[in-house]
Every structure is written in structure tokens, then in C-alpha cells.
A and B are shown apart, each in its own frame.
Chain A
Amino acid sequence: MAKETRVILICSGKGGVGKTTLTANLGIALARQGKKTAVLDADFGLRNLDLLLGLENRIVYTAQEVLEESCRLDQALVKHKQEANLSLLPAGNPRMLDWLKPEDMKKIVEMVSELFDFVLIDCPAGVEDGFKNAVAASKEAIVVTNPEVSAVRDADRVIGLLNSNGIKPIQLVLNRVRPKMMASQEMLSVDDVTDILALPLLGLVLEDEQVIVSTNRGEPLTLSGSNSPAARCYSNIVLRLQGEEVPLIDPSKEGSSIGDKFRRLMQTKIF
């Protein structure tokens, strides 16, 4: 293999912070740049990456059938209808919860790596078996968290586990940032989060109603080339992932009114 395939685990510990949404959007954005990308839904108990990508009705086989050799890998890979560079591989069937072992996951990821530039693994929530399987197959990781105490706590735990499994590098994406709430100090700030987690920040994603709309429609934001706040954040993340230097969005400058700025000025400590 001439090039090194990047196998990136997208995990968070806590559920509902935006792992799957991030995976779908990064997958599409990478594919749009001409990178051959596979997204692997390791969350097979409650899989919904296929929903977000609008590919639910196209799934015939899963990684399980590939491992059983009852189908070929290219049969199980579901090509995205608009982005030919993106393929989805569901890890398994929701009805079968206990077939997958870390070795199986490793094997399937190795097979997929042969064919793609990027493999994004959508990790299930929690730190139990599903997480262990996904970690076994990954090289690097993106930890997604929200500016909430519980999400940060779980991310911290996950980072510890990733560290002890030799995953490197581990980067951080802070999702669902609300600039106004941060400005008025009602929400954990970016510094509060990076202070605890001590990880390089790969990007911020602003809270955006368009994300909900696009999720329900099964068309990730980055697909339409939309210019909504979250879409811009996703494309910045994709650029940084490939080593480009893109300045971080400053949440204090995003959509804050003069009143907010004044309030913040009043709260700034002089010493």
C-alpha cells in the first residue's frame, strides 16, 4: 500500500452529542474534496448513520456477512447516491448484538482500508463492548463533546481509555456551541473545556437549526454546499484534518450583540 489510510474513530462517551452527525458531515465533506472515504457504523445496536446519509433503504449486507464470507466487501459497501467517493458500511444488524469481537472489527477495517483514503468509524456511546471493538480497529480519534459538564466528564473518561489503548493523535471537536450563552457565561467556555480535556482543538461547531432539518431529510449539511454556520464549521474541520491551518471561529464574535460585548467587558477581570 503506497499511501497510509487514515482510520479515525469518532467517539464521545456520552450519547447525543453529535458523533453520528459529525461522521456523516465529515464523510461527505471529505468525499467532496475527492478523497475516497468510507464511513463505518460501529453503533450497530442502534444504528442511524444510514438514516443521516439517506441510505437506509439501500442496505442489503453488513460487515457481518462479509466476515462470514456470504458476500463480497464491495457488495456490502453502500455507495452514496450523490457523492460517489463516499461509501457506508454498516457493521451489523441490530438484531445480532453479540457477534462482533475486536478481532472481527480489526479485520473488517483492514479490508476497507485497502480501498479508501479515509475510514471514519462512528463509535457507539458508552465505554463498553461496542466502544472497545471500535477502538481496537482505530489509529487516531476525534472526541466530540458539548459545552456541558456531563459531556465533558464522559469525554475525559474516554480520552483516558483512548490514551491507554495507544490511539494517537486524539483531537477534540466542541459541538453545539452557542456563542450568546458563552458570551454571557451561562455555558462552559471553550477554555473551560480545553482546560480539563487538554487536547488540541480540531474545531468548534456552532449550534445550528439547519442540522436538525438536514438530519431529518437524510442529507448532511455539507452535501448541499450550504453556507449555514454549522456547515462552515464542518468544512473547516475537514481542512484542519488534512493539516491545513484554518483559524478557529471565535464564539465571542459570532452573532453576539453589542449588549453582550458590553456585558462581557464588564465581567473581564482586570488582574
Chain B
Amino acid sequence: MEISRRELFQKITTGGAAIAASGGISAALTGVAQAEETPQVPPHALGMLYDATLCIGCKTCVVACTQANGLTPDTRTDPLHQAPADLNNHTKTIIKLYKEADGQTSFVKQQCMHCVDPACAAACMFGGLKKDKNTGVVTWNGKYCVGCRYCEVACPYNVPKFRWEGFNPEIVKCEFCKDRLAKGQEPACTTVCPRKAVIFGLREDLLKEAKRRIAANPGKYHEDRVFGEHEGGGTQVLYLSHVPFDKIGLPQPGNESIPQKYLKWQKRLYSYLVLPAGLYAVLAGTIRKNWKDHEEHLEEEEKASGLRAQL
């Protein structure tokens, strides 16, 4: 027996009201629990400043990084030279060349940007990638990683890399040489750069230095700004460049971080599971009522047909 249109309308209204109420509670709880959803820069955020105008492409940083992190140099494409074509599971930092037909060139050093609100950490199921609350360094912990590679999908800079061969894969990315940091040393790459094109320090100091350089050399740096101050919610690795940022592989995602921009409603709707619980209550109540009718109907059927009632 079909329900009448009126009953349907009533059902939808009551049910809808209940769901909306739970949704409202959920959203309110989110609002209360997180006073603002904008991610904050950690108090002692460490960072790097890379100035593409100073880099000469000597690649000492690549070599030093490989050595300091105990990686084997990537000779897969060229047996004589360590010549990776991109970041990969042997290469945590790389120098690439942007070359235009008219002769404009720039080197670019790529590695993890240690975002203020990292998409990779937001994606990681069990916290394999975690951002340190104090220094903001994003590190990978194999104990919690299941190798789902969601971090690779989420990172707007295509940084985390996976070991695709063999049985015990890992995610490999720059971690600011966390072992060296623990000993009070700087990351290997910033220590060996002959031109001080990449330097290490507190993010706020590096921002000041970058702005000082921009002010001292008006017109030298692209758009007279430093990349990473606000982009994608901010990154702890900052870039100064004389060529447009997208030419050296830095996307322009706007000033909201990916988790902030895209997971807002997920957070609100699932907050404390209030909405799902509300939905469950409404559905259970409805089905209970309909089930009573169905039970009676089943009994009648069984009697009439002589065949076992099917639940």
C-alpha cells in the first residue's frame, strides 16, 4: 500500500526538520569548537628562503641532501651521473631549469614546501604525515603509513613520492633533515649552498629578509613579492624569483589552503557525528513504523500462499 501524498509530505517535513536541526547543532558545535577555521602559523615555524636569482644550479644541495638522508643517488636514468628527472623516492630535493626560447632562464630548487596547512597531513588517514605543532616541519612516520598515496593526490606541489618497486614501500619527501635539526644543525642543503641562494631560519625572519631584498631591489623580483607568504594558506619554504612563479613550477592556488577551502563542509557536517546520528534516528523511526505494517503483511502472505515468508 502506497503512502499517500499527504503522508509523504508530512514525513519529509518532519524528517527534514529533524535532520536540519541536527545539521544546525553540528554546524554550531563546529563553530564553537573551532573559533576560527583559518590555520595558524606555528609559533617557532622554521623555513627556508630560496632566491632563484642567486642560484647557479650547481646542485650541491642535491648531493648533500642525498648524503645527509642516507639515500642512494638516483642513477636509474643515467648510470654515470646522479641525474633524476624529478623528485622521487631517491631524491628529496632537485634543481630544475626553466628555459625560454628568448634566453630567459631560471633555476628552481624543488622540495617539500612544509605548508602552514598541509593537504597531505589532512589527507593522511592515520597521521603518517604530521605537522609539528611547534616548528611546523611536516614529517613522515612509517609506523602510521599504510601506503595509500592519498598524500600524493592531495599535494598541490606534487611533493610526496612513493617507492613503487618491492615489498616495503615508503613515502619519501624533504623533512628539513629532521635528524640534523634534532642535533641543532641546519638542513644539509642550506649548509652547503655556495651562493647562499637557499637559507634556513625562522619563517618570520626569512619573510623579513625576503621583503628587505624586494625593497632593496625594486623590479628585480617578480611582482615584487615573495611566494609562500599567503599562497595556499602559506608555506614555510619561501621563494623569490625573477620569472613568473608558475614557470618555475609553483602553482597559484589562492590564499586558502586546500583543506580549509575544500574540507570545510566535511568538517561541519560530520562534527561529533551529530548529523549522522540525527539522520539515523529519523530513519530508524520511519522504518520501525513501516516495518510493523510489513510484518503483518508477511504473516498474511505466509498464510495465504503456504510458502515461507521471506524477510
Are both chains from one complex? no
